[in-house]
Amino acid sequence: MSGARHLYVHLPFCAYRCGYCDFVTLVGRRGQHAAYTDAVLAELELERPLLAGELDTVFLGGGTPTFLEAQSLARLLDVLPAAEELTIEANPETITPELARCLRLHGVTRVSLGAQSFQPHLLEVLERRATPDAVRRAFYHLRDASFDNISLDLIYGIPGQSAADLERDLEAAIALEPEHLSLYELEAKPGTRFTHAHGAELSRQAEAMEHYLERVVHVLRSAGYRWYETANFCLEPGRAGGRDLRSRHNLAYWQGRDYLGLGIGAVSTIADRRWRNAPRLRPYLDALAAGRRPPREVEPLPPDVRVRERALLGLRLDLPLALGSVDSALDHDALARMQALALVERRGENGSGTIALTERGRFLGDAVAAELIA
C-alpha cells in the first residue's frame, strides 16, 4: 500500500456556539488547547505509517481552527507534514493582520472563511458574531498577507431569507473576488434549539427555496465561476491565470481517495476500513497521553460499499464518471429511466463509457444519484 495522501485535522474549539451548528465543537477551553495539540501530534506519530511519504493536501477543519491558541497553532503547523495544498478554516472575527501573516509564514496556502451571509439580520438569526464589515476586513487582511486562494462559505435557506437577500449575499461575495465559494443549504437538525426556535419559518423557507440553487448557479457562472461540485464553485482558469482552483482536498474525498483524520470526531477512510474517533475530549487526551490510540468506532468497508460511495460522491462533480469504475454499483433499469428523463447522460460503451448528471439532473442532485445506485 502506498499510503494516504490526504490528511484532515479536527480542531474543535470555538469562541461560542452557533445555534445551527452540528459539528463536533467545544466552547472556550483555552487551558486545554496545548494538551489537545500534543494529543493530535501523538496521534499523528501513531498513524504515520498509514500516510504516503509526500502528501497532496492537509486540511485543518473545525470548530474554529483559527481560535486555537496562537502558540499551539504555530507548533501544529510546524510539525504537520508539508503538502501542496494546506487549507485552514477560519471565522472572520479571529483574523487579525498578525494571524494572517503567521498562517502564511507557517505554510498555509488556502483559507476557507466562514462568511455565511452579508445581511446583519440573517447573521443574527444564525447567531454569528462577525458583522458583514468584519467578514470584509478579514478577507482584506488575508489578501494583505498575500493569500491568493481564499474561499468563502455562504449559507442559504436561513429563516427569514428572501430571494432578494440571497441576491445581495451573492453580490457582496462576488465583489470580494474570492477564488472559491461554497454555498451550503442550511441543514437544521430536528430536535435542536435552532429548529425549535425557527421551526415554522424553516418549513415556509423550504417551499420558497425551490429555485434558489438555480439562481446561485446562474449568478456565479455569470461572474466567471465554475460549478464544479453540487455546492462548490471556483474561478474559471481563464479568470485565474490558468490555475485550477478546485479544493484539492475535497476533490480527493469526492473521488473516493483514502484520507487520514486526526482529532476528536475525525473520520479516516483507508483501504477496507473506516473509523471515527469518539467525540469526547477527555478520553481522547487520556488515551494519547498514555501512548494509546483514542477510542474509536471501526467499520469494515467491503469493495462494493466503496464503489457505491464512489458513484454517489462522483456524481456530485461536473466530470463524467468512468462506468468501468462504478458499473457494479448501478441499477441499470434506473439508469435507463434517468436517461429517458434527461437527468443522466451516458457516453460510449460499457467498459470505456462514462455517465454524468445532466444540468437538470445536477439541480436534483443527490436524489438522482441515490436512485441510480443498486
Ligand X SMILES: C[S@@+](CC[C@H](N)C(=O)[O-])C[C@H]1O[C@@H](n2cnc3c(N)ncnc32)[C@H](O)[C@@H]1O
Distance between CA atoms of residues 51 and 92, nearest Å: 32
21 lines the binding site for ligand X (CB under 6 A): yes
Q: Which three cell numbers stand for residue 34?
A: 496545548
Distance between CA atoms of residues 344 and 367, nearest Å: 12
Among the residue ranges 56-64, 163-171, 215-223, 310-318, the one whose residues contact ligand SF4 (CB under 6 A): 56-64
The interface mask with ligand X, positions 72-91, x = CB under 6 A, is -----------------x-x
Which single residue brings its beta carbon nearest to ligand X? 114
List C-alpha distances in Å: 177 to 225, 235, 243. 10, 9, 15
Residue with cell 449568478: 219
Taking the complex as a whole, the smallest distance from the CB of residue 10 to ligand X amounts, in Å, to 9
The interface mask with ligand SF4, positions 66-95, x = CB under 6 A, is -------------------------x----
178 lines the binding site for ligand X (CB under 6 A): no
Taking the complex as a whole, the smallest distance from the CB of residue 35 to ligand SF4 amounts, in Å, to 20
β-pairing, 13-14 vs 26-27, is parallel
- Single residue of 4, 7, 14, 158 touching ligand SF4 by CB under 6 A: 14
Nearer to ligand SF4, 25 or 277 (CB): 25
Which single residue brings its beta carbon nearest to ligand SF4? 21
Among the residue ranges 18-26, 197-205, 218-226, 246-254, the one whose residues contact ligand SF4 (CB under 6 A): 18-26
197 lines the binding site for ligand X (CB under 6 A): no
Are the beta carbons of 57 and 249 closer than 8 angstroms? yes
23 lines the binding site for ligand SF4 (CB under 6 A): yes
Binding partner of residue 17 among ligand X, ligand SF4, none, CB cut-off 5 to 8 Å per kind: ligand SF4
- What is the secondary structure of 188-237 as a DSSP string? --TTSHHHHHHHHHHHHHHHHGGGHHHHHHHHHHHTTEEEEETTEEEE-G
- Single residue of 64, 94, 149, 151 touching ligand SF4 by CB under 6 A: 64
Nearer to ligand SF4, 33 or 308 (CB): 33
SS3 63: coil
Nearer to ligand X, 135 or 252 (CB): 135
Q: Which three cell numbers stand for residue 13?
A: 474549539
Are the beta carbons of 313 and 256 closer than 8 angstroms? yes
184 lines the binding site for ligand SF4 (CB under 6 A): no
137 lines the binding site for ligand SF4 (CB under 6 A): no
Binding partner of residue 184 among ligand SF4, ligand X, none, CB cut-off 5 to 8 Å per kind: ligand X
A 10 A CB-CB count for 165 gives 17
Are the beta carbons of 301 and 273 closer than 8 angstroms? yes
> How close are the terminal C-alpha atoms of the chain, in Å?
29
Taking the complex as a whole, the smallest distance from the CB of residue 16 to ligand SF4 amounts, in Å, to 7
368 lines the binding site for ligand SF4 (CB under 6 A): no
- What is the secondary structure of 256-315 as a DSSP string? T--BEEESTT-EEEETTEEEEE-S-HHHHHHHHHTT-PPPEEEEE--HHHHHHHHHHHHT
Nearer to ligand X, 64 or 119 (CB): 64
- What is the secondary structure of 64-75 as a DSSP string? -GGGS-HHHHHH
Taking the complex as a whole, the smallest distance from the CB of residue 280 to ligand SF4 amounts, in Å, to 17
62 lines the binding site for ligand X (CB under 6 A): yes
Binding partner of residue 157 among ligand X, ligand SF4, none, CB cut-off 5 to 8 Å per kind: none
Q: How many residues bind ligand SF4 (CB under 6 A)?
A: 11
Distance between CA atoms of residues 83 and 63, nearest Å: 22
Are the beta carbons of 157 and 122 closer than 8 angstroms? no
Are the beta carbons of 238 and 178 closer than 8 angstroms? no
Query: What is the binding site for ligand SF4 (CB under 6 A)?
Result: 14, 17-18, 21, 23, 25, 62-64, 91, 114
Residue numbers of the site for ligand X (CB under 6 A)?
20-23, 61-62, 64, 89, 91, 114, 116, 153, 155, 184, 186-187
